[in-house]
Structure 1
């Protein structure tokens, strides 16, 4: 696994902290129109730095786990976009009624964030154990 530089690791950590701060503040309804952008910036930093960790080995399991991690990264970014939509209701004009909008889009960032977090925890743990097994 390609190691991140000191600055990349710092940006990776900063992205994770911004995501936690943004999601927590948004969930507690504190300045939602500001913290959604903090979460978005954290998600972009986190996913960018994580995608820079390239695996060049031959272990099929680690390659599969990295692909699952890429799906989790996409879910992180989609949850950030849905969080922004929840704050600003950008996608509301696309639906004929508010009920339809609320049913399909409004506050669905939570579901995507939960799926992404579970995938991230699983893949991080499994990649670590597979890398130790290879050594």
Structure 2
């Protein structure tokens, strides 16, 4: 697995912290107009630095898990975008032509960022643990 350099590791860690802080602040109704942007910026930094960490081996299960992990990164970014939309309502005029349109808008965007964030976090935790297990197993086979 290609390791991140110091700057990339710092951006990765800070992005994760900012993403978690933004989601927490937004969920507890603290400065929501700014915290949604914090969440989005942290998610973008986290996902970009995670994508820079490449697997250079040939084991198919690790490659598959890396692809699944990148989907979790996209899920974090999408959750951030939904959070921004939930706070600022940029797309509401596109849906507000009728009562049914507004109902569709609410059912699509209102607080659904929580579901995306939860699914992405679970997938991220699963793939992280499985990749570390597979890498340990792979390095154990090389030493024999």
Into which bin does the TM-score normalised by the smaller protein fall? over 0.9
1: CA distance, partners of 2:47 / 2:12 = 8
TM-score, normalisation: structure 1: 0.97
Matched with 1:54 is 54
Helix, strand or coil: the match of 1:55?
Answer: coil
Matched with 1:131 is 135
Structure 1 runs (4+) greater than 6 angstroms displaced: none
Pick one of 87, 106, 117 that aligns with 2:110: 106
Matched with 2:4 is 4
Shift of 1:125: 0.3
Moved more, 91-100 or 13-22: 91-100
CA RMSD of aligned residues (A): 0.9
Instruction: State the number of aligned residues.
Output: 135
2: CA distance, partners of 1:100 / 1:54 = 39
1: CA distance, partners of 2:38 / 2:109 = 20
Matched with 2:121 is 117
Alignment of 1:53-92 (within 5 A): 53-92=53-92
Shift of 1:52: 0.1
2: CA distance, partners of 1:63 / 1:19 = 26
Matched with 2:24 is 24
TM-score, normalisation: structure 2: 0.91
2: CA distance, partners of 1:111 / 1:91 = 20
Helix, strand or coil: the match of 1:130?
Answer: helix
| Structure number, greater radius of gyration | 2
Residues 19-45 of structure 1, C-alpha deviations (whole Å, 9 max, x = no match): 110000000011110001111110011
Residues 45-97 of structure 1, C-alpha deviations (whole Å, 9 max, x = no match): 10000000011101000000000011111111111100000110112112133
